[in-house]
Amino acid sequence: MNIVVCVKYVPDAQSERTFDSDNTTDRVGVDGLLSEIDEYAVEEALKIVEASDGEVTVVTMGPAQAADAVKKALQMGAHKGVHVSDEALHGSDAPATSLVLAEAIRKIGAPDLVITGMASTDGIMSVVPAMLAERLGLPQVTFASELTVEGDTVTIRRDGDVASETIVASLPALVSVTDQINEPRYPSFKGIMAAKKKPVEQWGLADLGVDAGQVGLDAAWTKVTEFAKRPPREKGTIVVDEGDGGTKLAEFLSAQKFL
């Protein structure tokens, strides 16, 4: 079983996230890390491979710092890394990102499974997995809170709004996972040492046969025309409960016409 896990390097949500002068997300001037939701994808891949055999390759597309996201996944136990980086990629939108990742996955070789997180912690769009499945022509089984691989089928459970569904697809397939699926491991000291010797390929667009005109800010299919920082919420009223906290709460709701 060979698995490719797509991971993203994102600005740390605990830090001040902002935009660059060209209206793209600032990915350089802020602290970044492996998108936390992707840790669940790496963990799930490792569990599957540990229970059978095969290799886990992590692939990321992003600036030089994104190497940290690959490193973290290798420290957790992934076998190989691929870092796609190119000046021309700056400002790429989801269609371009999925194009590049799809070509990278083709170059890595036909995996049995492609696993991603359900969304990145910065964009929270949840569209790249579906776009990847479309581009690779793979069955798409997304938002898995449970996953089992048996023979050449993958089965997942997905918690929808009105029902919990069981979905079956034949391999190869693309799966995205939620944070319900497992408990990601912390890299062990041994894992951290071992990661230093693991191979990480550096690919540019030319290596993937992707034309620079198809990616980046200028080729984006959407354009941010304006952004504005929301004014901070005005400081609210805070009362300490002295036996009448509930009554005061109801009075506030009544004054605001919620009753």
Partner 1 sequence: MSEVLVLVDHADGVVRKSTFELLTLARRLGDPSAVFVGEGGEAAAESLARYGAAKVYVVADPDVTAYLVAPQAEVLAQLVEQVSPAAVLVPASSVGKEVAARLAVKTGSGLITDAVDVRAGGEGVETTQSVFAGSYTVTATVTRGTPIIAVKPNSATPEEASAAGEVVPVEVSISDAAKAARITDTQPKKATGRPELTEAAIVVSGGRGTGGDFGPVEAFADSLGAAVGASRAAVDAGWYPHSNQVGQTGKQVSPQLYVAAGISGAIQHRAGMQTSKTIVAVNKDEEAPIFELVDFGVVGDLFNVLPQATEAVKAAKG
Footprint on this chain of ligand FAD (rule: CB under 6 A): 36-37, 179
Give the residue, chosen from 6, 141, 149, 215, that forms a contact with partner 1 under the rule CB under 8 A: 141
Backbone phi, psi, residue 57, to 5°: -110, 130
From ligand FAD, partner 1, none, interface partner of 53 (C-beta below 5 to 8 A by class): none
- Nearer to partner 1 by C-beta: 56 or 175? 175
Reference 13, options 119, 145, 131; nearest CA is 119
- Supply the minimum distance, in Å, between the C-beta of residue 36 and ligand FAD: 4
Does 110 engage in binding with partner 1 (CB under 8 A)? no
Toward ligand FAD, which CB reaches closer, 168 or 253?
253
Tokens 């420290």: give the residue: 75
Alpha-carbon dihedral sign for residues 88, 92, 96, 97? positive
x/- mask, partner 1, residues 167-206, rule CB under 8 A, reads xxxx--x----xxx--------------------------
| Residue 150 binds which of ligand FAD, partner 1, none (CB < 5-8 A, kind-dependent) | none
Given 95, 111, 184, 187, the residue binding partner 1 (CB under 8 A): 95
Only one residue has tokens 């408990």, namely 183
Q: Which is nearer to ligand FAD, 51 or 250 (CB)?
A: 250
- Counting other chains too, the contacts that 168-173 makes at CB distance below 8 Å and 24 or more residues apart are 169/139, 169/140, 169/141, 170/139, 171/112, 171/113, 172/110, 172/111, 172/112, 172/113, 172/114, 172/138, 173/113, 173/114, 173/138, 173/139, 173/140, 173/141
Q: Does 20 bind partner 1 (CB under 8 A)?
A: no
For the bound state, the minimum distance from the C-beta of residue 125 to partner 1, rounded and expressed in Å, comes to 5
